[in-house]
């Protein structure tokens, strides 16, 4: 996605405003990957392919509301030639809820810890879709020496508008001076659970609405089954401010200070060429406004922009072959 978040607005707000709480039942559908213990909570890490000395491990970070297996049309073909890992962010899919607030720095920390404890090895080739772009950008900032390259798939950017309290607003302008905390573990105090009627109402809503809609109907049958199960088993959560506006402002201000925040990292940004109409509450002028667009390929002095006229927001579902090809190209560019 370019400057404005579109069809995933509702799902994205779960990332920005929700604090995850522990699930009360064990999964009844085994995950495709491993559950890696991060110290009181587990991260679902799905890795495939064979690692090779001095070759990058591809790490796939999903957009808001998506799960590890939603990358399957990219992960399966890539595994023929490289080691590739996807994951469910804490509180999603098979991953346990993690400590809050759920900032991008916290998720990058959880992901790095999961990869390390799961026995995976750098250099990392980071791939982020939509909001996952913020995760991999943060990961690259915090673990720069381990990162060999990056691909951003229709990424959300810090100058985009988000749905907030019934309106579309430029989130970074809502930031205050509140500090963004450093990432951390549970420190012996896991989050409480939503129980009783609230939990039952949450699960009932999820079971009633969990279904395959476009573009997820392009997934293979097993991946669709995984997705429906994950939608039916949310980590029902209570509202909490996760400093989303402050994070958008921090990304924006850093770029204002540094012309290339990713230095000379090999980078390709894949933008969707097909756009639907504006979501409710956003004018056509704002939806199409160039003033809100940021060319994220400029994050690196070696960045390159690719626009795919065949795809909507989920390029990895509409045109997975293109995403696979570009990831392989960046792999070859890593020394």
273-310 burial code (b ≥16 CB/10 A, e <16): eeeeebbeebeeebbeeeebebebbbbbebbeebebee
Domain boundaries, the chain: 9-333
In sign, the C-alpha dihedral spanning 90, 95, 97, 99 is: negative
Residue 24 has pLDDT above 50, yes or no: no
Residue 289's pLDDT band, with cuts at 50, 70 and 90, is low
pLDDT band at 4, cuts 50/70/90?
Answer: very low
Residue 15 pLDDT more than 60? no
pLDDT in tens, 39-79: 989 999 999 999 988 899 999 999 999 999 999 999 999 99
- Select from 297, 259, 27 the least CA-distant residue to 152: 297
- Reported as a pLDDT band with limits 50, 70 and 90, residue 198 is confident
**3-class DSSP string for 147-171:** EEEEEEECCCCCCCEEEECCEEEEH
Q: What pTM was computed for the model?
A: 0.89
- Judge contact between 285 and 322, C-beta under 8 A: no
Which of 27 and 86 is assigned the larger pLDDT?
86
Residue 311 has pLDDT above 50, yes or no: yes
Residues 173, 176: Cα–Cα separation, whole Å: 9
The angle that helices 104-117 and 132-142 make with each other, rounded to 10 degrees, is 70
Give the model's pLDDT for residue 203.
81
Of 88, 85, 36, 42, whose CA–CA distance to 62 is shortest? Answer: 88
Identify the three-state secondary structure at position 19: strand
- Which pLDDT score, from 0 to 100, does residue 79 have? 97
Q: Write down the architecture of domain 9-333 according to CATH.
A: 3-Layer(aba) Sandwich (3.40)
What proportions of the chain, in percent to the nearest 5, are helix, strand and coil?
Answer: 35, 20, 45
> At residue 218, does pLDDT exceed 70?
yes
Angstrom distance (rounded) from CA 254 to CA 335:
27
How many other β-carbons are positioned within 10 Å of the β-carbon of residue 240? 15
Higher pLDDT, 9 or 187: 187
What pLDDT, on a 0 to 100 scale, did the predictor assign at position 208?
87
Distance, CA of 325 to CA of 65 (rounded, Å): 25
List the one residue out of 241, 307, 248, 251 whose CA is nearest residue 274. 307
Rg from Cα positions in the chain: 19
pLDDT at residue 169, rounded to an integer? 85
What value does the mean pLDDT of the chain take? 86
Q: Indicate the pLDDT class of residue 209, thresholds 50, 70 and 90.
A: confident
Q: How high is the pLDDT of residue 6?
A: 33
Q: Is 61 helix (H, G, I), strand (E, B) or coil?
A: strand
Lowest mean pLDDT across 10-24, 252-266, 301-315:
10-24
Q: Is the peptide bond before 132 cis (omega within 30 degrees of 0)?
A: no
Residue 3 has pLDDT above 80, yes or no: no
What letter would DSSP give residue 45? E
pLDDT > 90: percent of the chain: 67
Q: Of the ranges 109-118, 169-178, 245-254, 281-290, which one carries the lowest mean pLDDT score?
A: 281-290
- Out of 14-18, 54-58, 143-147, 315-319, least confident range: 14-18
């Amino acid at each position: 996605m370019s400057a404005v978040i579109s069809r995933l607005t509702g799902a994205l707000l779960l990332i920005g405003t929700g604090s995850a709480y522990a699930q009360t039942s064990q999964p009844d559908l085994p995950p495709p990957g491993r559950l890696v213990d991060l110290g009181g909570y587990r991260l679902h890490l799905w890795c495939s392919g064979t690692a090779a000395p001095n070759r990058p491990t591809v790490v796939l970070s999903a957009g808001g509301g998506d799960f590890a297996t939603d990358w399957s049309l990219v992960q399966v073909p890539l595994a023929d030639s490289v080691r590739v890992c996807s994951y469910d962010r804490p509180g999603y899919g098979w991953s346990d809820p993690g400590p809050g607030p759920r900032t991008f720095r916290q998720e990058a920390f959880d992901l790095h810890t999961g990869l390390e404890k799961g026995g995976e090895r750098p250099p990392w080739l980071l791939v982020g879709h939509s909001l996952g772009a913020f995760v991999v950008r943060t990961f690259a900032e915090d673990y720069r020496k381990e990162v060999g390259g990056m691909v951003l798939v229709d990424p959300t950017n810090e100058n985009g508008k988000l749905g907030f309290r019934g309106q579309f607003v430029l989130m970074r302008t809502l930031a205050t001076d509140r500090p963004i905390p450093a990432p951390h573990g549970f420190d012996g105090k896991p989050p409480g659970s939503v129980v009783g009627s609230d939990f039952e109402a949450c699960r009932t809503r999820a079971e009633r609405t969990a279904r395959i809609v476009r573009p997820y109907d392009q997934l293979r049958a097993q991946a669709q089954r995984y997705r429906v199960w994950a939608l039916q088993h949310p980590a029902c959560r209570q509202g909490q401010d996760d400093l989303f506006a402050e994070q958008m402002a921090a990304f924006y201000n850093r770029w204002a200070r540094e012309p290339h925040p990713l230095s000379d990292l090999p980078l390709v940004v894949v933008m969707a060429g097909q756009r639907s109409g504006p979501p409710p509450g956003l004018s056509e002028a704002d939806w199409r406004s160039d003033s809100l667009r940021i060319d994220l390929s400029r994050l690196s002095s070696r960045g390159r922009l690719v626009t795919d006229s065949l795809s909507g927001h989920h390029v990895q579902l509409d045109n997975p072959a293109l995403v696979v090809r570009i990831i392989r190209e960046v792999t070859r560019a890593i020394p």
